[in-house]
Each structure stands twice: as structure tokens, then as C-alpha cells.
Structure 1
Amino acid sequence: MMATLGIVVAVAVFLETVSAASLGVVYTEGGMVQGENIRLGFRRHMDVFRGIPFADIPGRFEKPKRHPGWDGIMKTTEYRQRCLQVNLLMSDTRGSEDCLYLNIWVPHGRSVSTDLPVMVWIYGGGFLAGGSMGANFLDNYLYSGQEIADRGDVIVVTLGYRVGTLGFLSTGDSSMPGNYGLWDQQAAIAWVHRNIRSFGGDPDNITIFGESAGGASVSFQTLTPHNKGLFKRAISQSGVALCPWGINKNPRRFAEEIALKVKCPTDENMVACLKMTDPAQLTLAGSLDVSSSPDHPIVTNLLLSPVVDGDFLPDEPYNLFHNAADIDYIAGVNDMDGHVFTALDVPSINSHLVNTPIGDVKRLLASYTKEKGTAGLENAYSTYTSTWGANPNKETIKKTVVEIGTDYIFLVPTQAALYLHASNATTGRTYSYLFSEPNRLGGIGRPYPSWVGADHADDLQYVFGKPFSSPLGYWPRYRDLSGYMIAYWTNFAKTGDPNKGDLKVPATWPKFTTTGHQYLEIHHEMNKNYVRQKMRLRYVHFWTSVLPNLPTVFSE
């Protein structure tokens, strides 16, 4: 009997292997590509393509051009290098100028998939760093699309784009307009729209999503007039076009600083000289000044960012929301998104032993409100200390610093973007969230105090399903949370409604409206009581109404 059973099992395995669903060789506009087919379970396979070129090797400070194509079958089984960028210590460079490639994950059941929704990921990294595969730990890449694709039954695409000096340096005029990294993203989205049907995707159901500078990039892609009809939905995690670091208002000055660092003139010969300069030198010249203090917060040093160029961005972002009128949009933040930044500006917030002086709270607020002078600071200080009482404890003061950074850098601009999206929408739906799962490094004997909530980028591991792919590193509750996020994100990609799709969700997420300002709080224990409204309304009102109406006393 056992022998017979063994033969039956062997035959079943053989038959499944023979009939494994796979796209095989795929025809694209540039030529044929062949990826890798992996088995995920019984009658579940996935095709993975790594390193498909979506554009030619870009010219220095030029928009991307179409790839000339190739002969034969291109093996696309390895990630390509990330775009040239500074390393973490800003002491050297990594990557290559030949970097405009994308990766695709296509899930299959019994038969080869057709007409699947498509989710295109844009990575963050302050417009200075990042790659389509993300950080790598033991060949487990952060931005592997496998878990989202498998669990949500969607195609996942991740793309590369130029960052740092080569992606965003601009003279503020037509000689070097900037926004090259945004054009790269746009070229990748357009390539996906033109080619994804060959991979089993639906070109009329594309969602773009991203985090931090990637979330702001997603926002810019919805606002530019150049993307009409290319995608249907968008998700911005911890970053929108309205963030104070989203637009460089004085690109010429920074371009001249870079020119001087690489020994180029700052006159009419500047651009020609920059184009001939060694790319690694140029990249290093644009590295971030990480020396910060409450008087010079780190966020004010993020100068290699998009610019209003009259082309990709024909106007200030807040005037372009009519372009997103028919795009379904989710945007949200982590409840302590500002922690990693304010910890650089005010290091004492992470110390159990050292008190954070009230003077540091004032200095940070003064930096963020400096255009409005003393009146700005006084209004800000009274707003943020109104709940302190006569004798605030040291934890209250530390948390206030994080709240100020979170509000100014992420939360308030995101609420403003949601409001503008909802008020300009025709068919597009709007959804708001607050991610509040506490940081896993907080607590006694750990690097962070126990009160630290969801820090910047804490959401990424859950969206990309790391608690499933690295189960030993996570408690079961984290798998619950990851399952919820993948369900909301992929339901939204399928239907434009995060509640409707193939996956069950723990709470019905209401639309954000200009009157109710409803949002969903996302957490491992969430239930229907996690639906809330008017996120930090008092503080949003201060930054969007009270402060702008004070007289400006200082402008650059």
C-alpha cells in the first residue's frame, strides 16, 4: 500500500512539474527576456524577472531615452546595479550610471495568469540613495515582490531611477532643468503600461506605490500632466509632494555649490563642465551634510530634490491636484515618522538618563517657523505645550520633540495633500491612514525608549511581507499585521477600494472626505474601533492656517 502511495505521490509531483505554470520566454518591445520560475506550493508558481532594461543608459543630465533593443534572449535572473549614489557613510560611492532596469514578479495558479492588477514600487532614500531591490540581508531583499504578489495575486514591479546629483541637480533653467529621476520613474511606468500585458498584467489597472522620497515621487507622478491614462491608483507612504523637503526652491544656488566642489566655473560654462566631470566625484559632492542641531535640522539639508521646471511640474505642486482628479489615492504616515530625524537634531530624546532641555524644543520650533519670526515661534510653542501642565515630565518633553518633527516633516503635508486630492477628485477616491505599530527596537535594554511608536520606514517590512518570508525574526502578531496591510494594499490595487477584493480585512476603511477627515489606524490588534477622524486636527490647523497667515519677516 505504502509503495503504491509513493508511486501516486511521485506521479503527482512529476505531473505538476511538467505542467508548471510559467510564462517562459516573454516578448517585450526591446526583445525577448527569460526570468526564473520558482515553485511556491502545490500548483502555485511564480515567474521572477530581474534586471529588464526599461530605457537606454541615460545621458548625463538628460531625460531617459527608449532602449535600442537586443538580439536573442536576455536572461533576466540577476538584479542590476543600483544607480550611482553615495554609500551610507557618505565616504564613497556605489552603483553605476547604467541603472535603468526593473524587476517583475508574476504569480500563477494552475494556469498561467492573465489580466492581473499591477503594483509598481518606487523606493525612498531622500532622493539621494536607494535601489529597486532594497537592503539585502542574507539574500533576503527588502523590496522582493514575492510575498505581495503571492498573497495578493497581483504582479509587482520595482524600478530603478537616478538619485543624488545625477538625478536631481538643477540650474533652475533650461540649461539643466533637473527632475531626471522623476523622468526615469515616468519612463518605467510608461514601459510597464506598454509591455505588462505580455507578462499577464492588465495595463489598464496599474497602481504606483512608494515610501518616503518614493511616496513623494508617487505624489509627483499623480500631479504631472505627463502620465494621463498610464495608471489608475496611487499609494504614498510617509511622503507627498507637499512635504517641506519635496521641492528645492533655490536649485541654482546648490548647483553652484556643487560646481565649486568639483572645480567647475559657476558662469555660462558651468553645465558643460559638470557634464564632463567624473560621475563619482559629482555624486560625492552632493552628499548630505549630516551635522545637524535644533537650529539647523537635518531636513533642511535635503537639497537634491525635485524642482518646479515648467515641464514635469508646470506649477507648484499644490496647484496641480486637478491632474489627479480620477486617480484613487491612499496616503498616510507612521505615528512617529519624525523620530529618526529629530533624534539627529536633538540626540537627547533617545537617552534614558539625559533630560531634553525645553530650550531644544523652542530651538527646533524656531527653525521650522523662522519665516514668521517671533510670532511664529510663540504660536507654535503655545500650541505644542498646551497639554503639558505646570511641570512636564522628561518623557513628555521628548515625545513633544518627535511630534513636532513628525507633524512638520510628514503628517501635516500628507493631510494637506489628502484634502487637496479629495477636493479636486471627480471619480478618484481618497483614503487616509496612520500606522501605529511600535518600533521593535524600543524598550528596556534596547537602543530606543519604550515610548517610541512607528518610526520612519517601519511600515516597509510589513507591506513586503517580511514576517512571512523571515518567520524566525517575528512574533505571530506581526504576521497578522503584515497580512492586514497586504490585504488592504492589494484589494485597493484591484478595485480602488481597500475593503473590496480577494482578501478579508479586520476593519472597514472609510473614505477620507473634506468634511469628515476619516482615517484608519493600522496596528496588529486593529478592529472596527480603529476607524478615527480628524488626525491631529489642532496641529494640522496650526501649520496650514494659523502659521501661514502670520506676517512673513524672513525669506530667503
Structure 2
Amino acid sequence: MVEGKNIRLGFHRSMDIFKGIPFADVPETFEKPERHPGWEGVLKATEYKEICLQLKPLLPGTRGSDDCLYLNIWVPHGRTVSAELPVMVWLFGGAFLIGGSMGTNILDLATKLYDGQEIADRGNVIVVTLGYRVGTLGFLSTGDSLLPGNYGLWDQHAAIAWVHRNIRAFGGDPDNITIFGESAGGASVNFQILSPYNKGLIRRAISESGVALCPWSIIKDPRAFAEEVARKVNCPTDHKMAACLKTSDPVRLTEAGSFSLFSSPSAPLVENMILSAVIDGDFLPHEPCNLFHNAADVDYIAGINDMDGHILASGDIPSINLPFWETSIDDMKTLLQSFTKPKGEPGMKEAFSVYTSKWAPDPSKEEVKRTIVDIETDYVFLVPTQVALELHAASARSGRTYSYRFSEPSRLGGRVKPYPTWMGADHTEELQYLFGMPYREFLLYWPHDRKLSDYMIAYWTNFAKTGDPNKGNSEVPTTWPEFTKGRRYLDINHKMNASSVGRKMRKQYVNFWTVTLPNLPDV
């Protein structure tokens, strides 16, 4: 038995909110999650639980707890108690290093970002958010069976299986579960539908700004970093390493998983990300590109923000954000060299030729800066997402495939704000609209922001109900065609109309990264 809170939302409308329901027992260090043993009497489920143990962003030390495998549920009701509602399960992002089921406080506001109330109310769906292990405790691996890794992915799977077993008691349909997530959460969504362990549990999936094929999603050689962590916590690096790590203090292990956030064009940030999923021969039995047959009957949406790469590019080449500073073209060449390393100088030159082909003879400062953001967006997010969509469409039986680009200019763009005037949608920018922040923090947003929030919630929840983002109980501004009909995609912003449908997203650049570059000889 669990007891949550019921809140009134209007005439014949209310919502049940449950916070902090355990979906698994307190996990042992570097072990898969186990089922929760249960409890006597009634569990009070009215407060968020602590986030999983993790490093503090940009600060020394840690925060959170190793007792963190809890989920939160929002259930909308009308005149009658709901039954058989579609279920949407959210997987948070944060580079597999940080984050939690409730999201961050925005500008110190009372509401948390990942509050499911607006999606649940406006879309008439059940929303579930969950915690999973991150950082060292979630993703450290020795690259063998002694400490195989992917513990955070196993936590996500345990939560999805819990929802499948129990959501009917909350008014949900266990046979209509949609998982959705952003960044590392988007890649996690992709991993979950590719893993054989989720067969029959997931009906639909949405990956925002992250898929299993992104260059940061899989660590190819995890052993070296595991040995580095072992040395920091005074463990041996031989055959006794895994056993020693499992008995080490979780806080010290988490602190030992820190790494440098300093980056440059020759050492871009994306290459510093050292804790992610691994191909463990179990949860992920093969390379992700060979596992799309497992998602053949899963409806799938995947997309990006048009300037997703800005979050990384502004660290690698900070001058792109400084309006009166020029950005060196040599820096751009060095960055391309980093991304085309196996192909040597010919690879960099070919890439430079492709990315400058539309430049004016004397490119402006802004043109150079935007091109750098395009390069990082393409390499880190857009091209892998397009490849994932192609693989899903090619493997699909009943599963449908949809592609989008989110292009609402950043609300932080402008002369006296942190972003340049030419800024589009940075990484994470869509989340405030998806989770209905323009309604929850009414005075901080314009009416057109609420319109965009309506559009996103309508498309996402229609898809959760029917597998078609155009069909459900919510009106949408324009028809979103399937990806398979001419490689089409939907451009999402507050000015949407019939011309918001495009074909073959950034075809020239996708072709370069997937065909031209791989066919150059390795140096």
C-alpha cells in the first residue's frame, strides 16, 4: 500500500501524485539492482527521495545517497477514476555523471524541472520519473565479467519492469508504456529498446538529443579508467581489483570518478567523457548498430536541437560566445582534426572543404562561429541520430519511425545575455517546454512560449497513446510525417505551419560523416 497526495486542478479534474516509491532495494556497490523486499502497512509517498550519489557540478565533493532507486508518479483523473491510461516513463540526462528524477531547480524556483504534472494533465497520460545510478557507481567497468558495468542501465530496466508489473494499480495500461529521455537519457532510451531484456515491456520510445550511436554513449576501453579509480582508492590493479572496488567507500569511489572539464580544439570535451555504457555481452550483447532488430516493433521518435553542439563548442572554443572577438579558423581546423583523427590530414582537409563550401569569400566572425557550432552539433548529436533513425526504419516490422529538429531560438540569446544573438536552440533547451514550465512559471514566459509548450506536449502524448504524434486527443499545428516517407522530419518551434516539414536533414553533412569520411584510407 502507498499513500500519495491528491490535488484539485479544476472542475471535475484532479491528480494523484506519488513521490519516492522504491522500485528496487538499496543497491550493492557494482551489483545489479534487486527487487525491493516490501514494507508493512502504508508507505507515505509524498516527498522526493535523494538523488543517486554523484559529484557536485563544478564544485568539489559529492551529493546524494546510494539509497536512491525510487520513482515518482503523476496520475490525472476526470469525472471518474482513471483506468488503462498510457504511461510515459522519463529517463533524465546529465552525461551519465549527474542528475536525478526530479531535475534541477530552475532559477531557484519552487518547482522542479521534471515535474510531470503539466504533461499528465494536458495529455491525459500517467507520467513516471525515476532515479538511476550515475558516475562511477553507475558506469565504471573493468571490461570483463568481474565488474561488467552498465549498472545505471540495469536500474532503468528495473524501474521499467516495476512499472510494467504495477502500473495497473495506479490506473495505467502496462501494455502501453512509452519511455522518453534527453541527452544521456535519450541514449539510455535507445539502449533500453535495443537490449533483449526489455522485450515486451516497451511499446514506444522518444530519444531527445542522444542515441546509442553518439560518440560519447559507449566507452570502448573502460579498463584504463577503472585502474585509475582503483589507484585513487588504494586498490590493486591486478586480478584483485574488482573485489577491492566492491568493498570501497561509495563516496570515495564517486570522488575518484572526477575528470578534467578543461577542453580545447585539440582535446574536445566530448573525448573526455569516460563514464558511459559498455558492450558487456549481457545487457548490450553487441554493438548498438547490430541490435536494432530488438526494436522492430517499438514506435520510435528521435531528434536533436538545431544548436545542440553549442554546449560543448563554447567550452572547446570559448571565443564563439564573445561578440567582439574573432574565432580563429585554425581553431576550427584543429577541432576538425580531432574529429577526423584516423584519416589524418586528408580527413581534416575534406571536412574543412565541406564545412566552408557555403562561406562567402571573406566569412564574417559570426559565420565562422556558427560553423563551429554546426560541426559539434553534427558530429556529437545530429549525424548519430540520423543513423539511428535509418537503422530503426530498416529493421522495423510494426514500429514506426519519426524524426524532428527543435529550433526555437534560445531565450538566453541577445547582446547582454550569456548567448550570442545568432543562437538557436542549445542542448536541453526543449525541456522547459516539454515539461510545461511556461504554465508553471507563468510570469517568466511569453504567450508564444505557452503555444510551443502546447505543441510539444500534444505531439509527445499523442504518440504515447497511438504511436502516431498526429493522432490522439490533442490538436497539433501541422502533420508530422513518418521518417520513412522521404526521410522527412518536423521542425519544431512556436511558428509551425505546413512548411515546417523538411526532407533529409543536413544531407550534405550527414553524407560526409557516414560515407565520404569512412571511405578515406586510415593514416
Measured in 1, the distance between the counterparts of 2:247 and 2:284 equals 27
Name the structure 2 match of 1:475: 446
1:153-552 to 2 correspondences below 5 Å = 153-513=124-484, 516-552=486-522
Tell me the SS of whatever aligns to 1:141: coil
1:122 maps to 2:91: yes
Measured in 1, the distance between the counterparts of 2:449 and 2:433 equals 8
1:8-23 to 2 correspondences below 5 Å = none
Q: Unpaired runs of 5+ in structure 2?
A: none
The answer to whether the 8 Å contact 1:238/1:456 transfers is yes
What are the superposed Cα offsets for residues 60-94 of structure 1, whole Å, 9 maximum, x if unpaired? Answer: 10000000110000000000000000011141100
Tell me the SS of whatever aligns to 1:329: strand
The answer to whether the 8 Å contact 1:124/1:210 transfers is yes
Question: Which one-letter code corresponds to 1:525 in the other structure?
Answer: K
Select the residue among 20, 26, 43 that pairs with 1:51. 20
Measured in 1, the distance between the counterparts of 2:94 and 2:437 equals 20
Aligned-pair CA distance for 1:288: 3.5
Moved more, 264-273 or 483-492: 264-273
1:106 maps to 2:75: yes
Measured in 2, the distance between the counterparts of 1:287 and 1:467 equals 35
Measured in 2, the distance between the counterparts of 1:116 and 1:284 equals 42
Q: RMSD of the alignment, in Å?
A: 0.8
Name the structure 1 match of 2:2: 33
Name the structure 1 match of 2:34: 65
Measured in 2, the distance between the counterparts of 1:105 and 1:445 equals 39
Measured in 1, the distance between the counterparts of 2:180 and 2:21 equals 20
How many residues were matched structurally?
Answer: 521
Measured in 2, the distance between the counterparts of 1:252 and 1:269 equals 14
Select the residue among 109, 113, 118 that pairs with 1:142. 113
Tell me the SS of whatever aligns to 1:305: coil
The answer to whether the 8 Å contact 1:207/1:493 transfers is yes
Measured in 2, the distance between the counterparts of 1:223 and 1:90 equals 35
Name the structure 2 match of 1:16: none
Measured in 2, the distance between the counterparts of 1:433 and 1:501 equals 19
What are the superposed Cα offsets for residues 522-549 of structure 1, whole Å, 9 maximum, x if unpaired? Answer: 0001011101111000000000111111
1:96 maps to 2:65: yes
Measured in 2, the distance between the counterparts of 1:198 and 1:207 equals 18
Aligned-pair CA distance for 1:259: 1.1
Measured in 2, the distance between the counterparts of 1:370 and 1:498 equals 40
The answer to whether the 8 Å contact 1:167/1:180 transfers is yes
What are the superposed Cα offsets for residues 218-245 of structure 1, whole Å, 9 maximum, x if unpaired? Answer: 0000100110100100000000000000
Aligned-pair CA distance for 1:186: 0.2
What are the superposed Cα offsets for residues 371-408 of structure 1, whole Å, 9 maximum, x if unpaired? Answer: 11111111111110111132101000000000000000
The answer to whether the 8 Å contact 1:37/1:48 transfers is yes
Tell me the SS of whatever aligns to 2:343: helix
The answer to whether the 8 Å contact 1:90/1:287 transfers is no
Name the structure 1 match of 2:44: 75
Tell me the SS of whatever aligns to 2:320: helix
Q: Unpaired runs of 5+ in structure 1?
A: 1-31
Measured in 2, the distance between the counterparts of 1:288 and 1:143 equals 27
Moved more, 367-376 or 159-168: 367-376
Tell me the SS of whatever aligns to 1:361: helix
Measured in 1, the distance between the counterparts of 2:260 and 2:295 equals 35
Question: Which one-letter code corresponds to 1:210 in the other structure?
Answer: G
User: TM-score w.r.t. structure 2 length?
Assistant: 0.99
Aligned-pair CA distance for 1:263: 2.1
Tell me the SS of whatever aligns to 1:124: coil
Question: Which one-letter code corresponds to 1:550 in the other structure?
Answer: L
Aligned-pair CA distance for 1:138: 2.9
Tell me the SS of whatever aligns to 2:207: strand
The answer to whether the 8 Å contact 1:90/1:288 transfers is no
Tell me the SS of whatever aligns to 1:541: helix
The answer to whether the 8 Å contact 1:121/1:156 transfers is yes
Tell me the SS of whatever aligns to 1:140: coil
Q: Percent identity between the aligned chains?
A: 68
Tell me the SS of whatever aligns to 2:513: helix
Measured in 2, the distance between the counterparts of 1:217 and 1:531 equals 27
Question: Which one-letter code corresponds to 2:509 in the other structure?
Answer: Y
Aligned-pair CA distance for 1:303: 1.0
Tell me the SS of whatever aligns to 1:341: helix
Measured in 1, the distance between the counterparts of 2:328 and 2:450 equals 39
Tell me the SS of whatever aligns to 1:431: strand
Aligned-pair CA distance for 1:452: 0.6
Aligned-pair CA distance for 1:484: 0.1
Measured in 1, the distance between the counterparts of 2:486 and 2:224 equals 42
User: TM-score w.r.t. structure 1 length?
Assistant: 0.93
Measured in 2, the distance between the counterparts of 1:78 and 1:287 equals 30
Measured in 2, the distance between the counterparts of 1:169 and 1:286 equals 8
Question: Which one-letter code corresponds to 2:62 in the other structure?
Answer: T
Question: Which one-letter code corresponds to 1:95 in the other structure?
Answer: G
